[in-house]
Amino acid sequence: MDWTLIAECLPMQELSIYRPVTPAGESIAQLSFLVFAITGGIFLVVSGVLAYCIVRFRRRGPNENEPPQVYGSVPIELAWTAAPLLIVFFLVLVTTRTLWEVEVDPPQPTVGDKTLFVTVVGRQWWWEYRYDYYDGKPLGFTTANELHIPAGDDDAPRRTFLTLVSADVCHSFWVPRLGGKTDLIPGRINSTWIETKSPGLYLGQCAEFCGTQHAGMLLRVDVEEPAVFAAWLEREQAKVVVGTTEESAAVERGRVAFQSLSCVNCHAVRGTPAVGTFGPDLTHLMARKTLASGLIPNDRERLRSWLVNPQAIKPGCLMPSFQLNDDQLDGIVAYLETLR
Ligand SMILES: [Cu+2]
């Protein structure tokens, strides 16, 4: 079925479950439409009978007698017990079928199957992505907030399996066009999967209230052509090369400031002494289009104002403001800009 017609009538089409691009999304759209159709039908029948009775049996004059009073009717009682039972039974069946289609157990990483495995860690209030395996080979790098996955093509479906865990409270991963929600629950491991042939940017939002900045915990999934994805993967796997390039004095100063301030307790830059894991991995910060979990674009001006005071941009977020002076700010921004 072509859901786009329905989707186009809705505001915020980008977040509409009626524009699915994955098999799971497609099943969910179908199920929800079927449930709407059935419950809509019931609504029409019930309100139709009600309206008919109100008009047909209304009191017509001051002297009209009460109509004959009927008590109980076995056939009617049977009908209105059996009909809802059948309808509910049918809904149980179709829902179960959808669950079967949506819940797929992750396979073992195997060379040649072009499957991507990523661990998603929900954190107050951003997303950590640990890239585990692609095409059977271990990856072992971490990034944040922008999930890149390959689009399938005719040779390979290129599925992505996500393992979802939480570092603190309950969160929920929901990118409506890619399928249903999956919760990230402390002490539990959940999983979900994405398979699509449509490259593009898909947006979502943490879907389980998780504190002050719940609404600022946005999701971005970049589904890329396999070649583009491969290039991204290669770039992310590379370590930052320290001290070998011609660095300007500002970059050098920035690096020293970054490494001597507490930044390194919370942030990692692979291949440097910065190994903190409390905040987003900054190894390839400049490869990201946004900062602070999709809240602001990643450009020099915004990066600087984030460092001036993260609390002004994302009040309550877990990065403190450091009262850095202009010199430190210029240096750190220049240094961060080398993290490509
Ligand atoms: Cu959350």
pLDDT per residue over 152-169, tens digit each?
988 788 999 999 999 999
More confident residue, 223 or 71: 223
For residues 81 and 139, membership in a common domain is answered with no
- Which residue from 186, 182, 140, 144 is spatially nearest to 161, judged by alpha carbons? 182
CA of 122 to the centre of ligand 1 (A): 6
Q: Is residue 255 part of a domain?
A: yes
Range of the domain at 75: 4-102
Q: What's the pLDDT band for 7 if we cut at 50, 70, 90?
A: low
CA 215 to chain centre: 12
Q: What is the pLDDT of residue 192?
A: 96
Q: Percent of the chain scored above 90 by pLDDT?
A: 80
CA of 66 to the centre of ligand 1 (A): 60
Q: What is the pLDDT of residue 258?
A: 94
Alpha-carbon span 27 to 22, nearest angstrom: 9
CA of 204 to the centre of ligand 1 (A): 11
pLDDT score of 95 more than 60:
yes
For residues 210 and 259, membership in a common domain is answered with no
CA of 239 to the centre of ligand 1 (A): 29
Prediction pTM value = 0.90
Helix axes 23-56, 74-102, angle to 10 degrees: 160
CA of 169 to the centre of ligand 1 (A): 8
Last residue in a domain, options 69, 102, 135? 102
Q: 334 with 254: CB under 8 angstroms?
A: yes
Q: Domain of 88: which CATH number?
A: 1.10.287.90
For residues 120 and 233, membership in a common domain is answered with yes
For residues 77 and 41, membership in a common domain is answered with yes
3-class secondary-structure state, position 15 = helix
CA of 218 to the centre of ligand 1 (A): 9
CA of 130 to the centre of ligand 1 (A): 17
Q: What is the pLDDT of residue 310?
A: 96
Encode pLDDT of 255-306 as tens digits.
999 999 999 999 999 989 999 999 999 999 999 999 999 999 999 999 999 9
| Cα torsion through 296, 301, 307, 312, rounded to 10 | -50
Neighbours of 337 (CB within 10 A): 15
How many residues would you count in the chain? 340
Q: What is the pLDDT of residue 6?
A: 66
Q: 264 with 278: CB under 8 angstroms?
A: no
Last residue in a domain, options 36, 68, 102? 102
CA 28 to chain centre: 16
pLDDT score of 60 more than 70:
yes
For residues 215 and 258, membership in a common domain is answered with no
pLDDT score of 314 more than 80:
yes
The token duo for 127 is 């997303």
For residues 274 and 297, membership in a common domain is answered with yes
Q: What is the pLDDT of residue 72?
A: 87
pLDDT score of 13 more than 60:
yes
Q: Domain of 197: which CATH number?
A: 2.60.40.420
Q: What's the pLDDT band for 238 if we cut at 50, 70, 90?
A: confident
Q: What is the pLDDT of residue 242?
A: 56
pLDDT score of 247 more than 90:
no
Look at the block and give the residue holding tokens 């990066």.
303
Q: Is the dihedral of CA 173, 175, 179, 181 positive or negative?
A: positive
What mean pLDDT, rounded, does the chain reach?
92
